[in-house]
Amino acid sequence: MELEERLNDVRSRIAAAERLGGRTDGSVQLVAVSKTFDADAIRPALQAGQRIFGENRVQEGQGKWPELKSETPGIELHLIGPLQSNKAAEAVALFDVIETVDREKIARVLADEMKRQAKTPRLYVQVNTGLEPQKAGITPNDTVAFVDFCRDELGLTIEGLMCIPPADENPGPHFALLGKLAQASGVEKLSMGMSGDYETAIAFGATSVRVGSAIFGVR
Ligand SMILES: *Cc1c(COP(=O)(O)O)cnc(C)c1O
């Protein structure tokens, strides 16, 4: 199957899941996760009209997206991988949305960089819903206080929450928990669902899904 066919398949599955869940048509955004794929592999997705992309490494993003952004207007690039303080300046410069804010230090550094560069990428807080030691993200218990801290102490607008459920568990309860935490924190957006579970995530209220291998193929 060609990339455009796979992309269209994902798009129609999203539309079907929206209808099934009583969601407004087009209310779920597709973030096409292009990590490990080079600019030549990404161009067919741009030709097929895809404009929202996700990368998990700042440096890898810097290697391909400045060129692709200059070729095609209207690209929205999401950082979906862990962010180190020493990469915050580059991240603010390149990304339109940073989905992985997860601790006070990185929130402070981002706030400083956003002022310095006069640039305001939209921000999500990553929540470690499965309390996995190897995974980034703030704990569910600390989420409301952390969103408050970002808003009240740093003046940052947190747009939504993001999670990556444990690979070996039923994702539904994790998606439900993220939804409850978003309500409790007063944020509207939910970034959840990947190739294996994005339709389930939509049923639980996802406003964006991050889909990689179902579009670009195996990594
Ligand atoms: C790689 C990745 C995805 C996409 O995963 P697929 O299973 O290939 O769809 C989504 N979210 C994050 C944070 C990722 O790192």
CA distance 183 to 106: 23
CA of 126 from ligand 1 middle (Å) equals 14
- Give the number of the atom of ligand 1 that is nearest the alpha carbon of residue 31: 10
**What does the pLDDT read at residue 195?**
98
Kindly indicate the confidence band of residue 95, based on its pLDDT and cuts at 50, 70 and 90: very high
Average model confidence (pLDDT) for the chain? 98
Confidence grade of residue 1 (pLDDT, cut at 50, 70, 90): confident
Query: Using CA atoms, how far apart are residues 199 and 13, in angstroms rounded to an integer?
Result: 7
pLDDT for 3 equals: 96
Ligand 1 atom nearest to CA at 164 = 13
How many A from CA of 195 to the centre of ligand 1?
Answer: 7
Residues 6 or more apart whose CB falls under 8 angstroms from that of 173 comprise none
Report the nearest-CA residue for atom 6 of ligand 1.
Answer: 212
To test the pocket of ligand 1, the residue of 95, 194, 218 to mutate (highest count of ligand atoms within 8 Å of its CB) is 194
Cα of 110 to ligand 1 centre, how many Å?
A: 23
Residue 11 has pLDDT above 90, yes or no: yes
CA distance 43 to 70: 12
In contact, 140 and 181? CB cutoff 8 Å? yes
pLDDT at residue 17, rounded to an integer: 98
Each residue's pLDDT tens digit, 26-85: 999 999 999 999 999 999 999 999 999 999 999 999 999 999 999 999 999 999 999 999
Q: Is 36 in the pocket of ligand 1 (CB under 6 A)?
A: no
Average pLDDT, integer, range 166-181: 98
